[in-house]
Amino acid sequence: HMETNYRETLQADFDAFDISEELGFILEEPLTHLPDYYRVWMDLANNLAHLIESRKLRDLVHKMPVLSPHLLSNHRELRLAHLALGFICMGYVWQEGQHEPAQILPKALAWPYWLISRRLGLPPILTYADSVLANWKLKDPTGCAVLHFFTVSLKKGHIKKELQKWRDNPMLPRGLLYEGVSNEPILLSGGSAAQSSAIQCFDALLCIQHEGETGAFLTRMRDYMPPAHRQLIETLSVCPSLRDFITTCSSSDLCQAYNSCVSALVDLRSYHLNTVAKYVLVPGNRAISMGCPLRGVGTALNTTGTGGSDLMVFLKSVRNTTQRALILERPTTSRET
């Protein structure tokens, strides 16, 4: 009876926070098709790489009808529409490269994208929740391997990481104007690992408190998460401190278990930091030293993350703060022995 009540309570929490016992924060069984009314969106999204290479995407968007999102009837349809429109918007803005970004997002994109975003509680820009959590399908239906079905930003390289935001971006200093939505440009950060619901949940559960600009940035990135995930992080943040409980109960086993979790998170953040240095900063600096014609812009973008953070300062800060959360076991006294 107690086991049944526990499972029911646990499932209620999973439902409330829109998470899965098997997949965590990943969207379960994401769709790959929308109702036929929205075929033009899916056609553009599925052919985005070719349309960007051939410089045809903007022309096709200009001919696109303004579709109402009201025929999208459930959460999965809304998530797929948000994902598709997000990729199309990125392609439209950056089709001509970082030196000629579009300043205005046409109403045929901006208006339905804005309405869909409001229904989901997400901003109208491609987020981590789109490109990672909702952008997958089984590569092998009998196995566990996954494959991203919109791969333009992940494998094709047509939309570079700097091309993914219109906040803290020197090429769009005032932001992007959403036609039919606002009379002023809108500033939005791009998809970032800082928007990972899982990572911020680990921080909240393990009581790793990031302060100053780093803490403020991470808190702002929660606005780019699905609302239910954001609520889970905020709920964990106000719960009684797990770390304080472990330090007061003087259990060596609990202390070691906690430190193992924190150490794993430190290792993950160190790996992330090294990967960024190897594949982002080093190639970027090499291009600048070779006389890249956009070296000034490249320098600014090379040191700034997609979310708008000062890249290496931010990554080192979160790693070091995580490391400081480790509990130093008290030496055993002769009386305790």
Percent of the chain clearing pLDDT 70 (strictly above): 85
As a whole number of angstroms, the distance between CA 307 and CA 193 comes to: 8
Of 134, 160, 192, which closes a domain?
192
**pLDDT the model gives residue 129:** 96
Report residue 60 as tokens.
């096709």
Strands 146-147 and 177-178: unpaired
Query: Is residue 336 a part of any domain in this protein?
Result: no
Report the range of poorest mean pLDDT among 26-40, 129-143, 244-258.
Answer: 129-143
Query: Is residue 248 a part of any domain in this protein?
Result: yes
- Please check whether residues 37 and 153 belong to one and the same domain: yes
pLDDT band at 165 (very low <50, low <70, confident <90, very high): confident
Average pLDDT, the chain: 87
pLDDT band at 151 (very low <50, low <70, confident <90, very high): low
Q: What's the whole-model pTM score?
A: 0.86
User: What would the mean pLDDT of 73-88 be, rounded to a whole number?
Assistant: 97
Q: Is pLDDT above 70 for 234? A: yes
Q: Is pLDDT above 80 for 98? A: no
Q: Is pLDDT above 60 for 152? A: no
Of 192, 214, 231, which closes a domain?
192
Element (H, E) at 137: strand 137-138
Of 192, 219, 245, which closes a domain?
192
**pLDDT the model gives residue 154:** 37
Question: Which range has highest mean pLDDT (91-105, 130-144, 161-175, 233-247)?
Answer: 233-247
Residue pair 107/302 in contact (Cβ under 8 Å)? The answer is no
Query: Is residue 12 a part of any domain in this protein?
Result: no
Q: Is pLDDT above 90 for 295? A: no
User: What would the mean pLDDT of 281-290 be, rounded to a whole number?
Assistant: 78
As a whole number of angstroms, the distance between CA 169 and CA 164 comes to: 9
String of DSSP letters for 269-318: HHHHHHHHIIIIIHHHHHHHHTT-TTHHHHHHHHTB-TTS-BHHHHHHHH
Structural domain range at position 107: 26-192
CA distances from 93 to 89, 169, 218, 242, 308 (A): 6, 13, 26, 45, 18
Residue 65 burial (CB count, 10 A): 7
Four-CA torsion 10, 15, 16, 20, nearest 10 degrees? 80
User: What would the mean pLDDT of 200-216 be, rounded to a whole number?
Assistant: 96
What's the structural domain count of the chain? 2
Q: Pick out the residues of the known binding site for heme b.
A: 272
**pLDDT the model gives residue 304:** 60
**Burial 307-330, CB ≥16 within 10 A → b, else e:** bbbebeebbebbbebbeebeeeee
| Residue 306: partners with Cβ closer than 8 Å, 6 or more residues away | 161, 162, 164, 165, 189, 190, 191, 192
Q: Determine the 3-state secondary structure of 124 from DSSP.
A: coil
Q: Pick out the residues of the known binding site.
A: 272
**pLDDT the model gives residue 298:** 44
Instruction: Give the CA count within 13 Å in the CB-facing half-sphere of 266.
Output: 14
- Please check whether residues 294 and 275 belong to one and the same domain: yes
Percent of the chain clearing pLDDT 90 (strictly above): 68
Length of the chain in residues, anyone? 337
**pLDDT the model gives residue 330:** 63
Query: Is residue 17 a part of any domain in this protein?
Result: no
- Please check whether residues 266 and 181 belong to one and the same domain: no
Residue pair 77/42 in contact (Cβ under 8 Å)? The answer is no
pLDDT band at 213 (very low <50, low <70, confident <90, very high): very high
As a whole number of angstroms, the distance between CA 7 and CA 58 comes to: 51
Report the range of poorest mean pLDDT among 18-27, 86-95, 165-174, 297-306.
Answer: 297-306
